[in-house]
């Protein structure tokens, strides 16, 4: 039974890493169509860094795992906040994101300097998730108000945001309680974070494919205006 | 608790995303419906203006065919080849008759031309043309009609003047035809950079909801004509009952500024 559980856990870890590779692969495959989109760059770089950090933490520098965990929180927050900052139209809210991010990063640095690391950095992750979820809600609210838009799910940003939100919402409580709960009990649920991570990456892939399809249509119209 | 928390967060997030998708779809559907309604309205207005143009052509054709045609044919009869063989007195009488008929025809054609484009409007402007129209109506003795322009030192552009004049003509025509009123009073003012015209009458009238209803239906050709003309001038019209509930009031508002410089009108 224990072996079975371990296999399932490992399967999700591999799936999470594999989904990262898939995002990077798709981005590189369609780089011509994607290179102008800063949002797609942000998520691809984020996936790449996650992969590298995981590799470094698991195989090369196992004793520096805490450092890599904190580094990952920085990168994740910056990638998601940057993506939302790019796509939110309100100047006031963009400023708010910028100021909020500066404060958060400063707080994060102070936290890592002053607090002893336990199994995971629950408090910064909690703050990070809340901030990103708040920014995401605002983005959706802005899209809802904007009646000039096409249907929201025709934009690739929507799929990225849905992936981010599902991942954050699904992993939120697990990360928050990671330090408080019994390790064996937590292990039963830990695979969920990897599952949500996979789901997020699947949404990222959908976003890339959607963007490429749209671009293809655009190029087709540009090349053959009469066939539009 | 951990499981419930995670499940709760997921349900909330997915619920929110679904709510936004459905809400947006609803808004888009509503906008499409509005657009469709507007297109239908424009189609009705276009049909009305085509019908009106056809009616005007038919009237013009009838006037020329039924009035000018017989008059000219009669004049031709007086001036036939046999005239040279007749005595001088008969010749003179025939020429006199023919001249009389030609004068009548000239007057008839002048009237037709004036109904198409009033010369007073062209030469002296909207104020004179409207005053002239109201004097003619009042002169008939059946209704008391008066007009007063308070702030019309700066004239509107000729094309806008023509639009306003046609609207006034149509309104007066409707009042005379349907309202059974004993007086019509027109006043002109300016308000917030807009040209304002108010027409009062004491007969049977319509209010804004009736106007909008008639505008959307297949009847009320004149009202649709008013709507399409005002749309060209980016103007508004408001039909209402006076505060005292005794009179009907029609307010026409047209922006004075030159932001609609590229106005093209076919009257």
| Alpha-carbon distance values, B206 to B32, B63, B181, B214, B245 (Å) | 30, 32, 13, 10, 12
Residue A181: list chain B partners with CB under 8 A: 2
Question: CB contact, 8 Å: A154 with chain B?
Answer: no
Q: Which residue of B has its CA nearest to A193?
A: B6
Residue B12: list chain A partners with CB under 8 A: 169
User: Residue A56's CB: how many other CB atoms inside 10 A?
Assistant: 16
| Alpha-carbon distance values, A74 to A69, A79, A104, A109, B216 (Å) | 9, 9, 10, 9, 61
Question: CB contact, 8 Å: A189 with chain B?
Answer: yes
pLDDT value of residue A228: 41
What percent of chain A is helix, strand and coil (3-state, nearest 5)?
85, 0, 15
Q: Are A129 and B13 in contact, with CB atoms under 8 Å apart?
A: no
Asked if the model's pLDDT at residue A180 lies above 60, the reply is yes
Q: What is the mean pLDDT of chain A?
A: 85
pLDDT value of residue B265: 42
Q: What is the mean pLDDT of residues A13-18?
A: 85
pLDDT value of residue A137: 92
Angle between helix A156-176 and helix A122-145 axes, rounded to 10 deg: 150
pLDDT value of residue B264: 44
Please report the sign of the dihedral spanned by the C-alpha atoms of residue B157, residue B162, residue B165, residue B167: negative
Residue A165: list chain B partners with CB under 8 A: 13, 17
What percent of chain B is helix, strand and coil (3-state, nearest 5)?
65, 15, 20
Nearest to A152 among B5, B16, B20 (CB): B20
Q: Which residue has the higher pLDDT, A143 or B259?
A: A143
Q: Rounded to an integer, what distance in angstroms lies between the CA atom of residue B243 and that of residue B113?
A: 41
Q: Are A157 and A143 in contact, with CB atoms under 8 Å apart?
A: no
Which domains, and CATH codes, for chain A? 2-227 (1.20.1070)
Question: CB contact, 8 Å: A127 with chain B?
Answer: no
Query: Does ipTM surpass 0.90 in this model?
Result: no
Nearest to A143 among B5, B14, B20 (CB): B20
Q: What's this model's pTM, rounded to 2 decimal places?
A: 0.63
A61: helix, strand or coil: coil
Q: Rounded to an integer, what distance in angstroms lies between the CA atom of residue A207 and that of residue A42?
A: 13
A39: helix, strand or coil: helix
CA distance A166 to chain B (A): 6
User: Which of A99-103, A143-147, B108-112 comes out lowest in average pLDDT?
Assistant: A143-147
Q: Kindly determine whether residue B6 and residue A162, on different chains, have CB atoms separated by under 8 Å.
A: no
Q: Which residue of A has its CA nearest to B2?
A: A173
Digitized pLDDT (tens) for each residue of chain B, 267 residues in all: 777 888 888 899 999 999 988 888 888 888 889 999 888 888 888 888 888 888 888 888 888 888 888 889 888 888 887 778 888 888 888 889 899 999 999 988 888 888 777 888 888 889 999 999 999 888 888 889 999 999 888 888 888 898 899 899 999 989 998 888 999 999 999 988 899 999 999 999 999 998 888 887 777 778 888 888 888 888 999 999 988 888 999 999 999 875 555 444 444
Question: CB contact, 8 Å: B29 with chain A?
Answer: no
Q: Kindly determine whether residue A140 and residue B17, on different chains, have CB atoms separated by under 8 Å.
A: yes
Q: Are A80 and A132 in contact, with CB atoms under 8 Å apart?
A: yes
DSSP E strands: which ranges in chain A?
Answer: none
User: Which of A2-16, A197-211, B165-179 comes out lowest in average pLDDT?
Assistant: A2-16
pLDDT per residue as tens digits for the range A154-165: 889 999 999 999
Q: Residue A65 is encoded by which pair of tokens?
A: 């795992």
CA distance A159 to chain B (A): 10
Question: If you average pLDDT over each of A4-8, A137-141, B154-158, B215-219, which comes out highest?
Answer: A137-141
Q: Rounded to an integer, what distance in angstroms lies between the CA atom of residue B143 and that of residue A70?
A: 91
pLDDT per residue as tens digits for the range A52-77: 888 887 776 666 777 788 888 899 99
Q: Rounded to an integer, what distance in angstroms lies between the CA atom of residue B168 and that of residue B172?
A: 6
Q: Residue B134 is encoded by which pair of tokens?
A: 């109201």
Tell me how far the alpha carbon of residue B72 is from its chain's centroid: 33
Nearest to A173 among B9, B12, B27 (CB): B9
Q: Kindly determine whether residue A144 and residue B24, on different chains, have CB atoms separated by under 8 Å.
A: yes
Read off φ and ψ for residue A179, nearest 5 degrees: -85, -20
Beta-strand pair B144-149/B236-241: unpaired
Question: CB contact, 8 Å: A126 with chain B?
Answer: no
Read off φ and ψ for residue A154, nearest 5 degrees: -90, -10
pLDDT value of residue B267: 40
User: Would you state the torsion angle of the CA atoms of residues A48, A123, A161, A10, taken in this order, to the nearest 10 degrees?
Assistant: 50
Question: CB contact, 8 Å: B265 with chain A?
Answer: no
Residue B20: list chain A partners with CB under 8 A: 140, 143-144, 152
Q: Kindly determine whether residue B6 and residue A174, on different chains, have CB atoms separated by under 8 Å.
A: yes
Q: Rounded to an integer, what distance in angstroms lies between the CA atom of residue A96 and that of residue B106?
A: 80
Asked if the model's pLDDT at residue A18 lies above 60, the reply is yes
């Amino acid at each position: 039974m224990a072996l079975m559980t371990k296999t399932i856990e490992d399967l999700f870890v591999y799936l999470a890493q594999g989904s990262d590779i898939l995002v990077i692969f798709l981005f590189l495959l369609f780089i011509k169509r994607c290179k102008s989109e800063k949002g797609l760059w942000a998520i691809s770089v984020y996936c790449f860094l996650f992969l590298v950090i995981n590799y470094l933490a698991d195989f090369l520098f196992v004793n520096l795992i805490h450092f890599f965990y904190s580094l990952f929180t920085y990168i994740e927050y910056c990638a998601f906040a940057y993506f939302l900052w790019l796509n939110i139209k309100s100047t006031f809210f963009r400023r708010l994101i910028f100021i909020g991010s500066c404060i958060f990063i400063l707080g994060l640095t102070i936290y890592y300097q002053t607090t002893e690391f336990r199994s995971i950095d629950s408090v910064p992750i909690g703050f990070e998730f809340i901030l990103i979820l708040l920014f995401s809600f605002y983005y959706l609210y802005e899209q809802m108000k904007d009646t000039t838009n096409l249907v929201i799910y025709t934009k690739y940003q929507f799929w990225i945001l849905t992936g981010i939100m599902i991942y954050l919402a699904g992993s939120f409580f697990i990360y928050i309680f990671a330090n408080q709960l019994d390790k064996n009990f937590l292990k039963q649920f830990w695979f969920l974070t990897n599952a949500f991570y996979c789901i997020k990456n699947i949404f990222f892939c959908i976003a890339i494919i959607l963007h490429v399809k749209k671009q293809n249509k655009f190029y087709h119209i540009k090349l053959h205006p009469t066939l539009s | 608790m951990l499981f419930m928390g995670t499940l709760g967060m997921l349900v909330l997030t997915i619920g929110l995303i679904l709510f936004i998708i459905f809400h947006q779809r609803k808004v888009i559907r509503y906008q499409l419906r509005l657009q469709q309604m507007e297109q239908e309205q424009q189609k009705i207005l276009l049909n009305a203006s085509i019908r009106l143009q056809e009616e005007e052509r038919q009237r013009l054709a009838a006037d020329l065919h039924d009035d000018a045609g017989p008059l000219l044919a009669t004049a031709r009869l007086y001036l036939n080849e046999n005239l040279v063989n007749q005595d001088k007195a008969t010749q003179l009488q025939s020429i006199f008759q023919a001249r009389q008929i030609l004068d009548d025809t000239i007057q008839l054609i002048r009237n037709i031309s004036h109904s198409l484009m009033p010369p007073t409007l062209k030469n002296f402007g909207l104020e004179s043309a409207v005053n002239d129209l109201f004097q003619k109506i009042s002169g008939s003795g059946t209704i008391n009609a008066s007009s007063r322009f308070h702030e019309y030192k700066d004239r509107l552009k000729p094309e806008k003047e023509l639009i306003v004049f046609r609207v006034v003509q149509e309104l007066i025509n409707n009042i005379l035809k349907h309202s059974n009123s004993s007086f019509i009073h027109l006043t002109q003012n300016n308000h917030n950079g807009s040209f304002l015209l108010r027409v009062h009458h004491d007969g049977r009238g319509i209010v804004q909801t009736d106007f909008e209803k008639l505008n959307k239906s297949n009847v009320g050709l004149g009202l649709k004509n008013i709507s399409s003309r005002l749309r060209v001038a980016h103007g508004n019209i408001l039909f209402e009952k006076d505060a005292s509930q005794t009179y009907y009031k029609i307010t026409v508002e047209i922006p004075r500024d030159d932001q609609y410089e590229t106005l093209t009108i076919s009257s």
